[in-house]
Copies of this chain bind each other. A is one copy, B any other.
Amino acid sequence: MSSPFRPVLIGGAWKESLGTETFQATNPATEEKFGDLFPISPCEEVEDAVIAAAQAAKETRGWPGVRFASFLQCLARKLGETERANALVEMANAETALPRAPRLLEVELPRTINQLLQAAAAAIDGSWARPTIDREKNIRSILAPIGPVVVFGPNNFPFAFNGVSGGDFAAAIAAGNPVIAKGNPSHPGTTRLLAEAAFEAAKECGMPHNFIQLIYHMSEDDGLSLVSHDCIGATAFTGSRTAGQKLKAAADDAGKPFYMETGSINPVVILPGALKEHFDKVLTDYVGSCLMGTGQFCTSPKVVVMLAGSETERWIGEAAEHFGKATVGTLLSESVLKNLQSGVGSLKLLGATTVTGGDRADGQGFRFQNTLLRVDGETFSGDYDLQCECFGNAALIVVAIDADELLECLEALEGNLTGTIYSATNGGDDALYNRIEPGLRRRVGRLLNDKMPTGVAVSPAMNHGGPYPATGHPGFTAVGIPRSLERFAALQCYDNVRQDRLPPTLRDK
Contact = CB atoms under 8 A, between A and B. Distances in A.
Contact of A255 (B254, B415, B490, B501): B415
Interface string A240-266: 000000001100111111000000000
A451 interface: yes
A492 B463 contact: yes
A449 B496 contact: yes
10 contacts: A134-B460, A137-B457, A140-B461, A141-B461, A143-B475, A256-B468, A257-B474, A475-B486, A475-B491, A476-B491
Given A137-B457, A249-B252, A448-B496, 19 more contacts: A58-B438, A132-B483, A134-B459, A139-B462, A141-B461, A141-B480, A254-B468, A255-B469, A256-B468, A257-B475, A442-B490, A445-B490, A446-B494, A446-B495, A447-B493, A450-B496, A450-B498, A465-B491, A475-B490
Interface in A44-91: 58, 61
A164 B175 CA distance: 37
A326 interface: no
Most buried by B among A58, A137, A501: A501
Given A58-B438, A249-B252, A501-B437, A474 B445 contact: no
Contacts of A248: 252
A495 B447 contact: yes
Number of copies: 2
A147 interface: yes
B255 A447 contact: no
A393 interface: no
Nearest to A257: B473
A146 interface: yes
Nearest to A445: B493
A141 B451 contact: no
Interface string A135-156: 0010111010011000000000
A403 interface: no
Given A449-B501, A463-B141, A253 B257 contact: no
Interface residues of A, number: 66
A350 interface: no
A501 B415 CA distance: 21
A316 to B, nearest CB: 24
A441 interface: yes
Contacts of A448: 495-497
A133 interface: yes
Contacts of A486: 475
A448 B459 CA distance: 38
Contact of A496 (B442, B451, B475, B494): B451
A112 interface: no
B255 A461 contact: no
A237 to B, nearest CB: 14
Contacts of A93: none
Given A254-B468, A450-B496, A497-B449, A457 B139 contact: yes
Interface string A476-494: 1100100100110111111
A490 B477 CA distance: 10
A472 interface: yes
A172 to B, nearest CB: 14
A92 to B, nearest CB: 27
A99 interface: no
B491 A461 contact: no
A463 B495 CA distance: 9
Contacts of A472: 255
